[in-house]
Amino acid sequence: MSLPQHVAIIMDGNGRWAKQRFLPRIAGHRAGVESARQVVKNCAKQNIKVLSLFAFSSENWRRPVQEVSYLMELFLTGLEREVSMLHDNNIQLRFIGDRSRFSEKLSKKIAEVENLTNANTGMVLIIAVDYSGKWDIWQAVRKLACEVSQGTLQGSDITPEMINNKLSFADLPDPDLFIRTSGELRISNFMLWQLAYSELYFTDTLWPDFDASELEKALAHYAGRERRFGYSSEQLSELICSNNG
Ligand code: IPE
Ligand code: IPE
Ligand code: MG
Residue 187's SS3 state is coil
Amino acid 240: pLDDT? 86
Ligand 2 close to Cβ of residue 55 (< 6 A): yes
Give the distance, in angstroms, between the CA of residue 87 and the centroid of all CA atoms in the same chain.
Answer: 19
For 5-60, write each residue's pLDDT tens digit: 999 999 999 999 999 999 999 999 999 999 999 999 999 999 999 999 999 999 99
Name the residue of 9, 14, 186 to mutate for ligand 1: max ligand atoms within 8 A of Cβ: 14
How confident is residue 243, by pLDDT bands cut at 50, 70 and 90?
confident
Cα(221) to ligand 1 centroid in Å equals 24
pLDDT at 169 over 90: no
Q: What is the DSSP string of 144-160?
A: HHHHHHHTSS-GGG--H
For 75-125, write each residue's pLDDT tens digit: 999 999 999 999 999 999 999 999 999 999 999 999 999 999 999 999 999
Q: Which amino acid is at 174?
A: D
Answer for the pair 9, 190: CB distance below 8 angstroms, yes or no: no
For Cα atoms 209, 197, 147, give the angle at the middle one, nearest 5 degrees.
Answer: 110
Ligand 2 close to Cβ of residue 10 (< 6 A): yes
CB within 8 Å of 162: residues ≥ 6 apart:
144
- Residues near ion ligand 3 (CB < 5 Å) are 12
Q: Which atom of ligand 1 is nearest to the CA of 16?
A: 14
For the chain, how many residues are written?
A: 245
The whole-angstrom separation of Cα 67 and Cα 27 is 11
Give bridge partners of residue 178 from the DSSP assignment: 8, 200
Cα(229) to ligand 3 centroid in Å equals 30
For the CA of 206, the nearest ligand: 1
Q: Is 0.75 topped by the overall pTM?
A: yes
pLDDT at 245 over 80: no
Amino acid 139: pLDDT? 97
The C-alpha R_g of the chain, in whole angstroms, comes to 19
Q: Which amino acid is at 85?
A: M
Active site residues: 12, 60
Cα(185) to ligand 1 centroid in Å equals 14
Topology adopted by domain 6-131+173-244: Undecaprenyl pyrophosphate synthetase (3.40.1180)
Q: Which atom of ligand 1 is nearest to the CA of 60?
A: 5
For the CA of 13, the nearest ligand: 1
Amino acid 128: pLDDT? 98
Give bridge partners of residue 52 from the DSSP assignment: 8, 126
